[in-house]
Structure 1
Amino acid sequence: MQPITFIGTGLAAYTVAREFRKLDKESPLRFITTDDGHFYSKPMLSNAFAQKKTPETLVTMPVTKMVEQLNAEILTQTQVTQIAPSEHAIYAGDKRFDYSQLVLAWGADPIRIPLAGNAADKVLHVNDLGDYGRFRAALEGAKRVVVMGAGLIGCEFANDLQPAGFSVTLIDIAPNALGRLVPEAVGHAVQQALQELGVSLYFEKAVKSVDSADSGYRLTLSDESVLETYVVLSAIGLRPRTELAKAANLSVNRGVVVDRFLKTSADDVYALGDCAEVEGLVLPFVMPLMSAGRALAKTLARQLTAVTYPAMPVVVKTPACPLVVSPPAVGLEGEWQIDGEGKDIKALFYTPSQQLSGFVLTGAKVAEKTALTKELPAILA
């Protein structure tokens, strides 16, 4: 029997495998990954510095232990170059690997905006352990850090780095923090908290160019203002990896398109995690990934199981302003009702029929998360 094969060794792939092994102890499993294959919590990357975490201490289980735990073959530092669904095979260069079932769990890439300047290629992204190691090395001896993007991850990095002794500047083209996710009042609450830490905020501006300077880099913004910094970190967002799937003629939209059973348009090929689009949804968060992992493990074990997504609030790691977000569906008709002031805000999103369909809580209002979550409809029932 050919192995069930996973492309990727992140939380998505390892969750499926762990759940699968509860149902099937013997079927062969193979993982192919471009990295070291160690198990770690990717969400911790954005608040690891202040905790003095190194790439090594972020690893919770080395690849050798994962091989033992999962009774699996794990091929590291290996780049898959082709998927051939009609052959039930994938290729890494000239090397062919046959599979019985294939799971695409290769994640997403940082969005890279075009920048001018002779140091545009020095802008850092943190999307895996290797990236985090390079970021930590760049911070040694640095005093000032510019973070591009004031979304969830950008705000988390700013909140992590400023108390650690860096002078952080946060830049976003939106008019306020978290502008794509939350009402203005919530964005202002987060901004107030970050400013009280000492973070400098630049909104409705973008970085145009990055050039080398005597000590670090010189950034020119869209309003022609200039900033100097030692480190530039881009936290603008992620884009699902779809190139290999597209080349294999799999259905691709924003992500690799899958049905409720996480099956792609090719037989015996599945996808989950940051690369997958389920019923039009791309949800790059831990809880949807875990739900998908449990469902797919059963399907791989021939117990066909549809994925369901209950309401899944996201806890944002900004201790300066505790924050929980359960955004309404994109395009859903309704309006926000906002209560509170300062850093203690409760924003509730109601449809015209007065169905609670989303919420955002900050500060002391976070205590209402559990009760409000019970009132929300499932994302995918």
Structure 2
Amino acid sequence: MHPIVIIGSGMAGYTLAREYRKLNPEQELVMICADDAINYAKPTLSNALVGKKVPEQIALGDADKMSSQLKMTIKAHTWVKSIDSTAHTIALEHQGEHSTLSYQKLILAVGANPIRLAISGDGAEDIHVVNNLTDYRAFRERLDQRPDKRVLILGAGLIGCEFANDLQNTDHHVTVVDLAPQPLGRLLPAHTAAAFRQNLEEAGIKFILGTTVDKVNKIANDDYEVTLANGQRFVVDVVLSAIGLQPNLDLAKQAGIHTSRGIISNSLLETNLPDIYAIGDCAEVNGTLLPYVMPLMQQARALAKTLAGETTRVHYPAMPVAVKTPAAPLTVLPAPANVEVNWETEEFDDGMLAKAFDPQGTLRGFVLLGATAGKQRLTLAKLVPDLIPQS
């Protein structure tokens, strides 16, 4: 019997392996990954400074430990060059050596890569992105070398705001730049975004919105001069880009797997090719792409059961997103993009509660800003219809 093969060693790959091992301790499992296969929780990267965690403390286990713990073969620093879905094989490359591996089932847990803007200047290559532990290690090394602690973050989305809060709480001077007119533009309606921004600004974070970074040049003292599209200029120590992620689709496309924004899969997480599945940040499930932890966990549990012989469709209940910004405690359940909603807002001394209702009066989403509003998270989540119902 050929192994079940997981491509990718991020949270999706390791969570699936862990869930599957609970159900089947014997079936051969193989994980293929291009990096060192260190297991870590990616969400911890954006608040590790406040938690006083150095990169070495973020790691939960290296490849040897994870291989032993999960009784799984891990092929680190190995690239999957192609998939032959007819022969049920994948072509591998490791340190210049080429080989072929047969699979019984193949899971694409290939994640997503940071989107990069075309920015000019001789310092553009030095712009940091943080999408994995290796990236974060390089970012922290740069931060630790710079006494002035001036950081410019490109992107006022979830990750950009979380990093801004983490840096500001550790005595860095943070400026956040985004082309959108508000922070968290994809998650918040305008009136709640304004209150969220005000809270972060009161903590010392500076926002410059409606423009973007045009140029980054190296100058004296190992500093950078950043020029914005509106002509403003800043001297900073570090530039961090956090403008979003794009699912890794190249391998799937080459294999003839259907893709859209992500790798297209049904509620069984099956792609259009037999015995090939997609999970995690790369997976577009029933037309929905949700690069968050809770959907990933739902996917892993369902797919583990399916792989163990119990066909199980993924179930998406209402899954609020907790944004790690202590200066402005925030929980968001975005309303579906294809649903027309009206917002009703209740204000508190420390924030607000905004509810999104559809024309039939059904609660479809909400925003909880502040500790008082946050207490209603569980109660409200139960009132929102499932995004993907239980079968």
Short-chain TM bin: over 0.9
1:116 partnered with 2:120: yes
Please tell me whether the aligned partners of residues 83 and 91 of structure 1 are also in contact (alpha carbons under 8 angstroms): yes
The alignment-based identity, stated in percent, is 44
Q: 1:67 aligns to what?
A: 67
Partner of 1:370: 378
The structure 2 residue matched to 1:151, chosen from 146, 149, 157, is 157
Q: Distance in 1 between matches of 2:152 and 2:27?
A: 48
Cα deviation, residue 334, structure 1? 1.5
1:126 equivalent in alignment to 2:130: yes
Task: Report what 2:106 is aligned to.
Answer: 102
Unaligned runs of 5+ in 2: none
Task: State the one-letter code of the partner of 1:96.
Answer: T
Tell me, yes or no, if the aligned pair for 1:193 and 1:343 is still in contact at 8 Å.
no
Aligned partners of 1:379, 1:286: CA distance in 2, in Å?
A: 15
Report the AA paired with residue 133 of structure 2: L
Structure 1 stretches lacking a partner, 5+ long = none
Q: Output the CA distance in 2 between the equivalents of 1:120 and 1:317.
A: 28
Which amino acid is the alignment partner of residue 371 of structure 1?
T
Which residue of the other structure, out of 320, 330, 334, is the alignment partner of 1:323? 330
User: How far 1:27 moved relative to its partner?
Assistant: 0.8
Deviations 1:339-371 (A, max 9, x none): 216751111100001000000100021111111
CA distance in 2, matches of 1:202, 1:313: 28
- Per-residue deviation, 1:192: 1.4
Range 123-132 or range 17-26, more displaced:
17-26
Are 2:22 and 1:19 equivalent residues in the alignment?
no
Whether contact under 8 Å (1:190, 1:343) holds in the other structure is no
Aligned to 1:225: 232
Partner of 1:162: 168
After TM superposition, the structure 1 stretch with the greater mean CA deviation from structure 2, 57-66 or 98-107, is 57-66
Aligned residue identity for 2:302: A
TM-score normalised per structure 1: 0.98
1:302 corresponds, among 309, 315, 323, to: 309
Match of 1:244 among 251, 271, 276: 251
Aligned-partner residue type, residue 206 of structure 2: S
Aligned to 2:192: 186
- Does the 8 Å CA contact 1:189/1:342 hold for their aligned counterparts? no
- Asked whether the 8 Å contact 1:189–1:343 carries over to 2, the reply is no
- Summarize deviations over 1:214-245 as a string: whole Å, max 9, x none: 13111111111111111000110111110110
Contact 2:15 2:297 in 1 (8 A): yes
Secondary structure in structure 2 of the residue aligned to 1:164: coil
Displacement of 1:327 in angstroms is: 0.3
Identify which range, 89-98 or 306-315, moves more after superposition.
89-98
Q: Conserved in 2, the CA contact under 8 Å of 1:185 and 1:345?
A: no
Distance 1:146 1:342 in 2: 31
For residue 141 of structure 1, report the CA deviation from its aligned partner.
3.1
Deviation of 1:97 after TM superposition, in Å, equals 1.2
Q: Using the alignment, how far apart are the partners of 1:162 and 1:33 within structure 2?
A: 34
Cα deviation for residue 50 of structure 1 reads 2.1
Displacement of 1:14 in angstroms is 1.4
State the distance in 2 between where 1:235 and 1:342 align: 31
CA contact (8 A) 1:172 1:203 kept: yes
- AA paired with 1:201? F
Question: Offset at 1:29?
Answer: 0.3
Q: CA deviation at 1:92?
A: 1.8
Letter in 2 for 1:24: N
Aligned to 1:346: 353
TM-superposition CA deviations, 1:169-198 (whole Å, max 9, x none): 011111111122101122122211211121
Query: Are the counterparts in 1 of residues 348 and 373 from structure 2 also a CA contact under 8 Å?
Result: no
In 1, the alpha carbon distance for the partners of 2:287 and 2:380 equals: 25
Structural mapping, 1:258-337, within 5 Å: 258-337=265-344
SS of aligned partner of 1:22: helix
Q: What's the counterpart of residue 173 of structure 1? A: 179
The residue that corresponds to 1:39 in the other structure is 39
More deviation, 282-291/190-199: 190-199
Code of the residue aligned with 2:121 in structure 1: it is G
CA deviation string 1:53-100 (max 9, x = no partner): 122100123322211121110011112121221121111232211111
Equivalent residue in structure 1 for 2:204, among 192, 198, 202: 198
Matched position secondary structure for 1:80: strand
In 1, the alpha carbon distance for the partners of 2:259 and 2:189 equals 31
Query: Cα distance, 1:279 vs. partner?
Result: 0.6
Q: Is the 8 A contact 1:328 1:359 kept in 2?
A: yes
Deviation at 1:121, TM superposition (A): 1.1
Query: Is contact 1:5–1:29 with CA below 8 Å preserved after alignment?
Result: yes
SS where residue 169 of structure 2 aligns? helix
For the pair 1:135 / 2:150, whether they are aligned, the reply is: no
